[in-house]
């Protein structure tokens, strides 16, 4: 892994693959030397301390999501379609989020547990008896796809192609920025909307089609077809990526800490704490971007209105001002709230679903493979939005 020496020029470049492989030395320097960091070459600012990032999440008026939550989107000045939710400000965000919250109620998420366990078994049982496998290809990329597919009533034979096309929209060439010239909304979901118009079911597409909400002009209405496509694209993309990355980091971190893995094998009540520590220690999304709507004074500097700023949640999650020995992975540590899923009005609506998938995935993985080692170096995915693996081979021990 790469390292950053204290004598090197301080540089946080999200597209530098060497830094991205191990960003934490750079994050520590940012927190100490430049808690408000300015990158002139790429024209953005960055915050790295937990307190600053939590404060920014609490102020969605100043730190706006309306131009996007990805740096490349903000800088491209793209007009975003309504219904993106995570890329909206109130009042539109308020009504759209309220509608989407019906999708992820605690009861609906809890009711998915038997199916999630079944999908885990479907993926893992064929691997029993093997000497090893690719955790991403054989499990991390498969199980979340099936869960999302079930939620939306997408036939199993179509799920892999939808996942692959959604993933392709997030991929970049190594060291390159995301291509923002394409359409953010996947029209591949259109046939399912058309089918459910004639054949309603108990899936989320039908529920979203029938739901009503109060528009900004006070009128009651249904989602438009374009808004439906946007909703589905957002949920499917976020749902697949987050859980896939979580499972990858789970495999790597517990390979590197076999004593803690053994503790979990012997006491499954530790699973929720283990998942939270994995999410804190290696969040799938290392940072989210915001557009600053008014001049902001931070650490003796002024961030001008119209600037793009990155909230480095991965840095915040290891801020020594909040955690004791934050660089130590420890499933037994005191549980303090991290910012992996954001905070405030944009707190991730799918957090409960990601957590229950992570907990069940870990439980079912340990049921079949209580010990494993890394088999070679994991291969990172090439993307500027999430940080995780394209391939992570495990050797069963």
Tens-digit pLDDT profile for residues 230-264: 878 877 877 778 899 999 999 999 999 999 999 99
- 141 vs 204: CA distance, rounded Å: 21
- 357 vs 115: CA distance, rounded Å: 10
- 53 vs 282: CA distance, rounded Å: 17
Q: Name the β-bridge partners of 291.
A: 64, 308
- 233 vs 315: CA distance, rounded Å: 28
Check residue 367 and report its DSSP letter.
H
Q: Per this entry, what is the length of the chain?
A: 397
Crossing angle (nearest 10°) for helices 225-256 and 143-152: 160
Tens-digit pLDDT profile for residues 352-365: 999 999 999 999 99
Please tell me the predicted confidence (pLDDT) of residue 3: 42
Q: Which helix (H) or strand (E) holds 131?
A: none
**Preceding peptide of 252 cis, ω within 30°:** no
> Across the chain, what does the average pLDDT equal?
88
Residue that the structure tokens 């009504």 belong to = 95
Q: CA Rg, the chain, in Å?
A: 21
Q: Where are the domains of the chain?
A: 17-396
**Which residues, at least 6 apart from 361, have a Cβ–Cβ distance to it below 8 Å?**
116, 120, 139, 143, 243, 246, 247, 250
When pLDDT is cut at 50, 70 and 90, the band that residue 2 belongs to is very low
The more confidently predicted of residues 193 and 262 is 262
- 325 vs 16: CA distance, rounded Å: 27
- 279 vs 271: CA distance, rounded Å: 12
Coil, strand or helix: which one is 288? strand
Q: Which helix (H) or strand (E) holds 98?
A: helix 92-101
Mean pLDDT of 158-164: 81
- 73 vs 68: CA distance, rounded Å: 6
Coil, strand or helix: which one is 308? strand
Beta carbons of 339 and 313 less than 8 angstroms apart: yes
Please tell me the predicted confidence (pLDDT) of residue 4: 42
Check residue 153 and report its DSSP letter.
T
- Written as six digits, the tokens of 41 are 């070459």
Check residue 205 and report its DSSP letter.
H
Tens-digit pLDDT profile for residues 259-274: 999 999 999 999 999 9
Which letter, b or e, does each residue of 65-83 get, where b requires 16 or more Cβ atoms within 10 Å of its Cβ?
Answer: bbbbbbbbbbbeeeebbbb
CATH architecture, domain 17-396:
Orthogonal Bundle (1.10)
Reply yes or no on whether the pLDDT at 182 is more than 70.
Answer: no
Please tell me the predicted confidence (pLDDT) of residue 242: 85
């Amino acid at each position: 892994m790469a390292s950053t020496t204290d004598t090197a020029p301080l540089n946080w470049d999200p597209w530098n693959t060497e830094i991205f492989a191990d960003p934490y030395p750079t994050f520590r320097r940012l927190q100490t030397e430049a808690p408000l960091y300015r990158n002139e070459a790429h024209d953005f600012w960055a915050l790295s301390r937990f307190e600053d990032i939590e404060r920014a999440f609490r102020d969605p008026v100043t730190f706006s999501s309306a131009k996007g939550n990805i740096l490349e989107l903000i800088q491209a000045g793209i007009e975003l379609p309504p219904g993106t939710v995570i890329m909206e400000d109130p009042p539109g965000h308020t009504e759209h989020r309220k509608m989407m919250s019906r999708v992820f109620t605690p009861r609906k998420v809890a009711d998915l547990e038997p199916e999630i366990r079944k999908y885990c078994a479907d993926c893992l049982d064929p691997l029993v008896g093997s000497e090893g496998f690719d955790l991403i290809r054989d499990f991390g990329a498969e199980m979340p796809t099936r869960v999302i597919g079930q939620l939306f009533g997408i036939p199993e034979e179509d799920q892999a192609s939808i996942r692959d096309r959604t993933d392709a929209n997030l991929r970049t060439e190594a060291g390159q920025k995301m291509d923002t010239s394409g359409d953010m909304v996947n029209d591949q979901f259109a046939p399912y909307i058309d089918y459910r118009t004639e054949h309603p079911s108990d899936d989320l597409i039908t529920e979203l089609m029938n739901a009503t909400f109060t528009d900004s002009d006070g009128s009651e209405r249904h989602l438009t077809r374009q808004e439906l496509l946007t909703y589905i694209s957002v949920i499917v993309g976020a749902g697949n990526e987050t859980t896939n990355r979580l499972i990858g980091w789970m495999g790597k971190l517990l390979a590197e800490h076999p004593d803690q893995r053994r503790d979990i094998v012997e006491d499954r009540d530790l699973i929720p704490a283990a998942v939270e520590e994995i999410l804190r220690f290696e969040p799938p999304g290392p940072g989210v971007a915001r557009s600053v709507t008014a001049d902001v004074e931070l650490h003796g500097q002024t961030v001008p209105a119209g600037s793009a700023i990155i909230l480095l949640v991965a840095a915040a999650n290891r801020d020594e001002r909040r955690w004791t020995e934050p660089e130590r992975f420890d499933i037994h540590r005191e549980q303090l709230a991290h910012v992996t899923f954001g905070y405030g009005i944009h707190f991730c609506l799918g957090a409960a679903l990601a957590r229950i998938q992570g907990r069940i995935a870990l439980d079912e993985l340990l049921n079949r493979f209580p010990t494993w080692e890394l088999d070679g170096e994991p291969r990172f995915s090439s993307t500027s939005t999430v940080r995780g693996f394209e391939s992570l081979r495990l050797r069963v021990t």
